[in-house]
Amino acid sequence: MLRPSPVPAASGVYGWYFEKAPSADLAARNLLYVGIAPRYMANRTSTQNLRKRVRYHYRGNAAGSTLRLTLGCLLGIELRRVGRSGTRMTFGKAGEAALSQWMAENARVCWIEHDEPWTLESELISQLDLPLNLDQNRHNPFHSCLKELRSQARQRARELPVTA
């Protein structure tokens, strides 16, 4: 999160690994998740790029980052319904701040620029052990555990009152 950011404002693939694993079932310092920026959009142009996406993963919220949702659930941070409608789910202000701090201390990201990153995503997920990726990754042994953990967190959030 340095200014200026070393992450380019370009299209590409990014990968996350962690000095301390978010779960005892995962290895520290191993690549655990990959993402792309922008996503493939057949009928419009995306404004996303590596810099925006990585920054959002570090400082955004669980409603806009599947990586943050996954990490927070693995770390046991309580998911809550937020906003007027109560349909968005985040870890609330305190939980998101705690997750951002954990990420600042433990998360590491690498990237490669690529004009059409969506052409690499499926290949990477099929060939690498990326336990935090759910999409296209049912073959991974951690997939069912992670999917169930996230489902339980959402169910608990639905049973709690909506927070600001």
The predicted-structure confidence for 72-121, as pLDDT tens digits, reads as follows: 999 999 999 999 889 999 999 999 999 999 999 999 999 999 999 999 99
Q: Is 7 exposed, middle or buried (0-12, 13-18, 19+ CB in 10 A)?
A: buried
Q: Are 75 and 102 in contact (CB under 8 A)?
A: yes
Q: Which pLDDT band holds residue 43 (cuts at 50, 70, 90)?
A: low
pLDDT of 46: 80
- Mean pLDDT computed over 61-73: 97
Q: Are 56 and 137 in contact (CB under 8 A)?
A: no
Quote the percentage of the chain above a pLDDT of 90.
Answer: 88
pLDDT of 44: 62
pLDDT of 45: 73
- Mean pLDDT computed over 57-78: 97
Distance of CA 127 to the CA centre of its chain: 20
Is residue 157's pLDDT more than 70?
Answer: yes
pLDDT of 42: 60
Is residue 2's pLDDT more than 70?
Answer: no
Q: What type of residue is 164?
A: A
| Residue count (the chain) | 164
Quote the percentage of the chain above a pLDDT of 70.
Answer: 96
The token pair at 129 is 């052990």
